[in-house]
Every structure is written in C-alpha cells, then in structure tokens.
Amino acid sequence: MTPVSATGIVKDPIYLEHKPGYLHWESPQRLEVLYDMLAEKGIIDTFETIKPRKAVREEIELVHEHRYYDYVASTAGKPRFSLDSDTQTSELSFEAALFAVGGLLDGVDKIMGGELNNVFGLVRPPGHHAEADQGMGFCLFNNVAIAAAYAIKRYKLSRILIIDWDLHHGNGTQHSFYRDRRVLYFSTHQYPYYPGTGAFGEVGEGEGKGFTVNIPLSMGHGDAEYYKIFKKILLPIALEYKPELVMVSAGFDTYFKDPLGGMEVTSAGYATMAQVILDIAGECADEKLLITLEGGYNLGGLKDGVRSVIKQLTGKNAADAELLGRNPDDIGKTADYTVSRAVEVQKEFWKCFS
C-alpha cells in the first residue's frame, strides 16, 4: 500500500493535562511551544495529525507489572502525588500517560499498515526511565518500550532497533529488553550522570547479550561528535542487524543551551542524526520509523530541534549538508576514544568490527 502521507504527528490536548508542579522542568509548556510550531508556514501542511487512543491495561502490562499499573492508576483524580522525588502526578496524569502510550501504538499500526512511513509522537509524560515496577525521571509508563513489545506481539516482528539520543540513559528501556535479542537498544548519553546506568560494559544478558549498545559520553560533545558516533558505530551495527522497524527516543536535552545538560548539539545536529536514522530505516525497514519525544528543557532549543527533525522526516532537509558529506574520520576528534572503546567492546558481537 502506498502511504497517503509520509509523516504523521501524534498530538492531543490531553498531554497538556499532566502537570507535575510549578517550576517542574517537565512542564506542559514543552508541548505548547511544539504545538504552536506545528502551525508555522512550511510545517503545517507537511504531516498528518494522529489523534491518539487510550492504551488499555493489557498493553501497558506488556512491559509493566500489574501492581505498578494499579499504583499509577490510584493517582487519578489526586491533585498531587509523588512517584519519586523527581516524578509527580496531577489529576489527569494517569489519563495522559495512557494516551501517550496509545498514541505510539496508533503510530505503530499506521506504519505497519502502510498508511505512513514515519510517525513522531509529540506526547508526554515521557517514558524511557520508567521501569517495569517503578516510575522515575519524570516518566510514568515506558512509551517506547511498550510500543516495541506491542509491535513484536501484534506484528510478529523479530528485530526492532531502538535508538535513544536523550541526554540521559534510558535505563527502563534497556532493562525491558536486556535479555531479548528481538530488540537492539542503542544509547548515546552523558555519563556519569542520572540515572547512573549505561556503561560500555552493559551489553545485555542471556539471549540478549550483544543487543545493548551503550555509548557513554563526557560533557561537551556536539554535532560532529554525534555524527561520527552514528556513522562509525550505529550505522554498521544497524545494517548488520537489519531491523524490521526503527524507533527513536528523541530527547533534546543535549541541546547546547539546555539547563540540565552539558552537550553542544544544535538543531542542525538533530536533523543530521535523524537523516542517518532515516537512511537506516530506508535501507533495512522499508522506511518504517517511529519517534517519540523524551527530554528537552530549553524551550527554544526544543522547538528548533523538533522542527528540524520534522523537516528532515518530511524531506525539507534541515540537516547539516556539509557535515553529512564529510568523512567521519576527519571530524569530531574528541569522540575518537569513545568510538575505539565502543568498537573494542562490540566487536565480540558484530562482524562489522572484526
């Protein structure tokens, strides 16, 4: 089936109803600026809007424990409740979390059904820190992990690639598939930093050994370094793995002015990373690509970064063309040690490094 539109955007007012508190970094303003941006000339007519459905208990429990679902459900209608010191809920947070998951599941269905090539879920609360039995790091349910488990169950997929470029390591996503070769989890993240996981040596266990790829980074890495890592590590592994579906946990807290981070990525850098991922999806997965919003707390940087990714998805080419045309060996020299260390760890599992 030929897609009627290449790109879909999940958006809904319910996501603004998750209100973790005055001055909390993960505020409704994050989506307000993004939804305003979607109305800009040059953006508004380039995508199909996806109105999300609500996920049901059985879908949430593809990743989360039964008792944890009940625990989060018990917060419904309460003005304020703390899952941990960073993660608060309000009256409609549980409802918003169900629609955040449901929006991504809708995205999976539209991609797998051939209606769309790619979908970007502009949803909240975010998800990649949420563990099977615990909410943390601003996250209630693990949106991307549930979407991957859903795709495996409904569409019988055996190879899903999840790329996590958030500033913080996605501990919950990693742990969801640490023993499962059906999901390859690849993460770039500031390290050591919250939540403390994501060292080079965390490579998976049992049947999943070799299918977790962690790229811990010191502060100060920018567009050239991320491009180098994506080209030298992500791309060869992905082409060898041959995913049937590609997913991205897209955090924009690596932006050079983000208040919680120490990285130097610009909007062109996000588009450039998106293009590498689009190339992977095009080569291996018939262009099937699902992206979900994670972090990003400088509102201007968040808006510019998401805009640049949407432009890349819709063929407007916001990526740094000069960077894309360069040999990654010639740039981003501060990432050379990281690349060599990653190769040393991963060559046991991937022929592309042997």
Residues 6+ apart with CB under 8 A from 351: 240
**CB 178, CB 216: distance < 8 Å:** no
The one catalytic residue among 129, 168, 175, 189: 129
**CB 8, CB 108: distance < 8 Å:** no
3-state SS of the chain: helix, strand, coil percent to 5? Answer: 40, 15, 45
Q: Measure the CA–CA gap between 250 and 350, rounded to whole angstroms.
A: 25
Residue 129 known to be catalytic: yes
**Nearest Cα residue to 291 out of 305, 283, 299, 300:** 305
Q: Measure the CA–CA gap between 175 and 168, rounded to whole angstroms.
A: 15
Two structure tokens written together for 73: 């459900």
Q: Would you say the C-alpha torsion 2, 183, 240, 337 has a positive or negative sign?
A: positive
Two structure tokens written together for 210: 């070799």
The burial class, CB within 10 Å (0-12 / 13-18 / 19+), for 70 is exposed
Residue written as token pair 């018990």: 74
What is the maximum alpha-carbon separation in the chain?
A: 56
Q: Measure the CA–CA gap between 31 and 302, rounded to whole angstroms.
A: 9
Q: What is the CA radius of gyration of the chain?
A: 18
Number of H helices, E strands in the chain: 12, 10
- Give DSSP secondary structure letters for 219-241: TT-BHHHHHHHIIIIIHHHHHHH
The catalytic residue positions are 129
